[in-house]
Structure 1
Amino acid sequence: MQLLDARHLIDGHWQPSNDGRTAASIDPATGETIGTLADGGRAEARAAIAAARHAFDTTAWPQSPRVRQQVLLQWADRLERRTDLAALLTRENGKVLREARGEMAGAISEIRYYAGLARHMPGHFMEVEPGAFAATLREPAGVAGLIIPWNAPVVLLIRALAPALAAGCTVIVKPAMQTAQITAAVLHELAQVPGLPSGVLNLVCETGSDVARELVASPDVDVLSFTGSNLVGQHIMAAAAPTMKKLSLELGGKSCCLVFPDADIEATARQLAAAATIISGQQCTAARRVLVHASRLDEMKRALTQALSAIVVGPGADESSGMGPLIDAQAVRTVDEAVQRALDECDEVLLRGGRPQGALAGGSYLTPTLVAHRDSSAFFCQEEIFGPFVVLESFDDEREAVRRANHTVYGLSASVWTADGDRALRVARALRNGTVWINDHNRLFAEAETGGYRQSGLGRLHGYEGLGDFLETKHIYRSAGVA
Structure 2
Amino acid sequence: MQQARHFIDGQWCDDGRWADSLDPANGELIGRFADGDEGTARAAVAAAVSAFAKPQWSQNPRLRQQVLLEWAAALQRRQDELATLLTRENGKALAQSRGEIAGAISEILYYAGLARHNPGHVLEVAPGEFSTMLREPAGVAALIIPWNAPAVLLVRALAPALAAGCTCVVKPAPQTTLFNAALLAPLLELPSLAPGVVNLFAECGHAGAAYLVATPLVDVLSFTGSTATGTRIMQDAAPTMKKLSLELGGKSCCLVLDDVDIASVALKIAAAATIISGQQCTAARRVLVHASRAAEMKQALTAALAEIRVGHGLDAATQMGPLIDRSARDGVEQRIALALDSCDEVLLAGGRPAGLDSGAFLTPTLITHHDSAAFFCQEEIFGPLLVLETFDSESEAVQRANHSEFGLSASVWTADGARAMRLARALRNGTVWINDHNKLFAEAETGGYRKSGLGRLHGYDALLDFTELKHVYQNVGSL
Asked if residue 220 in structure 1 is aligned to residue 217 in structure 2, the reply is yes
8 Å contact 1:96–1:323 — kept in the other structure? yes
**Alignment partners' CA distance in 1, 2:276 and 2:349:** 19
Asked if residue 186 in structure 1 is aligned to residue 183 in structure 2, the reply is yes
| Aligned-pair CA distance for 1:194 | 2.6
What residue identity is the alignment partner of 1:8? H
| Aligned-pair CA distance for 1:193 | 1.9
Residue matched to 2:5: 7
- Equivalent residues in 2 for 1:112-261 (5 A)? 112-261=109-258
Q: SS of the residue aligned with 2:147?
A: coil
Question: Over aligned residues, Cα RMSD in angstroms?
Answer: 0.6
Residue matched to 1:459: 455
What residue identity is the alignment partner of 1:220? L
1:389 to 385, 408, 427: 385
1:441 to 437, 443, 446: 437
| Aligned-pair CA distance for 1:192 | 1.8
**Alignment partners' CA distance in 2, 1:363 and 1:355:** 9
Residue matched to 2:28: 32
Q: What stretches of structure 1 move > 4 A for 4+ residues in a row? A: none
**Alignment partners' CA distance in 1, 2:258 and 2:42:** 57
Residue matched to 2:274: 277
2:14 to 16, 22, 34: 16
| Aligned-pair CA distance for 1:59 | 4.5
Residue matched to 1:313: 310
1:79 to 75, 82, 98: 75
The worse-fitting range, judged by mean Cα deviation, of 245-254 and 8-17 is 8-17
Q: SS of the residue aligned with 2:117?
A: coil
**Alignment partners' CA distance in 2, 1:284 and 1:182:** 20
Q: SS of the residue aligned with 1:60?
A: helix
TM, length-normalised to structure 1: 0.98
**Alignment partners' CA distance in 1, 2:442 and 2:376:** 32
Q: SS of the residue aligned with 2:308?
A: coil
8 Å contact 1:297–1:394 — kept in the other structure? yes
1:399 to 395, 398, 415: 395
**Alignment partners' CA distance in 2, 1:441 and 1:58:** 44
| Aligned-pair CA distance for 1:445 | 1.2
Deviations, residues 178-221 of structure 1 (Å, cap 9, x unaligned): 00001000110101223111000000100011111010001100
**Alignment partners' CA distance in 1, 2:358 and 2:353:** 9
Deviations, residues 349-399 of structure 1 (Å, cap 9, x unaligned): 0000001232x1100100000000000000000000000000000000111
Residue matched to 2:60: 64
Identity over aligned pairs, percent: 67
**Alignment partners' CA distance in 2, 1:37 and 1:334:** 25
Q: SS of the residue aligned with 1:292?
A: strand
Q: Structure 2: any 5+ residue segments left out of the alignment?
A: none
Q: SS of the residue aligned with 1:119?
A: coil
| Aligned-pair CA distance for 1:58 | 2.3
**Alignment partners' CA distance in 2, 1:473 and 1:397:** 46
| Aligned-pair CA distance for 1:480 | 1.0
| Aligned-pair CA distance for 1:125 | 1.2
8 Å contact 1:71–1:194 — kept in the other structure? no
What residue identity is the alignment partner of 1:435? T
**Alignment partners' CA distance in 2, 1:140 and 1:172:** 15
Residue matched to 2:349: 352
TM, length-normalised to structure 2: 0.99
Residue matched to 1:476: 472
**Alignment partners' CA distance in 2, 1:73 and 1:51:** 24
Q: SS of the residue aligned with 2:406?
A: coil
**Alignment partners' CA distance in 2, 1:58 and 1:300:** 60
What residue identity is the alignment partner of 1:441? H
Deviations, residues 414-433 of structure 1 (Å, cap 9, x unaligned): 00000011000000000000
Deviations, residues 149-206 of structure 1 (Å, cap 9, x unaligned): 0000010000000000000000000000000001000110101223111000000100
**Alignment partners' CA distance in 1, 2:255 and 2:138:** 40
Q: SS of the residue aligned with 2:451?
A: helix
